Amino acid sequence: MARLKKETQFNLTYFFIAIIAILLIQDFWAHKKNVAYIPYSEFRSNLKSGNISEISILDKQIRGAFKEQINNKKNFLTTRVESDLVKELEASGVKYNRVIENTFFKDILSWILPTFLFFAIWIYLMKKMAEKGGGVSGGFMSVGKSKAKVYVETDTKVSFNDVAGVDEAKAELTEVVNFLKSPDEYGILGARLPKGILLVGPPGTGKTLLAKAIAGEAGVPFFSISGSEFVEMFVGVGAARVRDLFEQARKKAPCIVFIDELDALGKVRSSGIHGGHDEKEQTLNQLLVELDGFDSKSGIVLLGATNRPEILDPALLRAGRFDRQVLVDRPDKIGRIQILNVHIKKIKIVDDLDLEQVAALTPGFTGADLENLVNEAALVATRRKSSDVSLDDFNVAIERIIAGLEKRNRLLNPFERKVVAYHEMGHAIVASSLPGSDPIHKISIIPRGIGALGYTIQRPIEDRFLMKKEELENKMSVLLGGRAAEKIVFNHLSTGASDDIMKATEIARSMVTKYGMVEDLGHVNYDDKQTSFLGTQSFSNMSRYGEKTTQAIDDSVKELIEKAYKKAIEILKEKQSILEESSNELLEKETLSETELKKYFI
Rounded (10°) angle between helices 367-383 and 391-403: 120
Report the alpha-carbon angle 33-35-37, nearest 5.
115
Annotation says 424 is catalytic: yes
Rounded CA-CA distance 380/180 in Å is 44
Rounded CA-CA distance 159/576 in Å is 57
Residues 414 and 468 sit within 8 Å (Cβ to Cβ): no
Rounded CA-CA distance 587/591 in Å is 8
Q: Which of 43, 384, 330 is nearest to 205 (CA)?
A: 330
Rounded CA-CA distance 199/229 in Å is 19
- Name every residue whose Cβ is closer than 8 Å to that of residue 42 and which is 6 or more positions away in sequence: 78
* Number of other CB atoms surrounding residue 300 within 10 Å: 23
Q: 54: which strand partners?
A: 65, 95
Within 13 Å and on the Cβ side, how many CA atoms surround 377?
26
> From the candidates 261, 279, 376, 424, which is the catalytic residue?
424
Dihedral, CA of residue 482, residue 484, residue 486 and residue 487, to nearest 10: 170
Kind of pairing, strands 255-260 and 222-226? parallel
Residues 290 and 257 sit within 8 Å (Cβ to Cβ): no
Rounded CA-CA distance 498/62 in Å is 98
- Burial class of residue 326 (count of CB atoms within 10 Å of its CB; 0-12, 13-18, 19+): buried
Q: Which of 318, 290, 324, 286 is nearest to 304 (CA)?
A: 324
Active site residues: 424
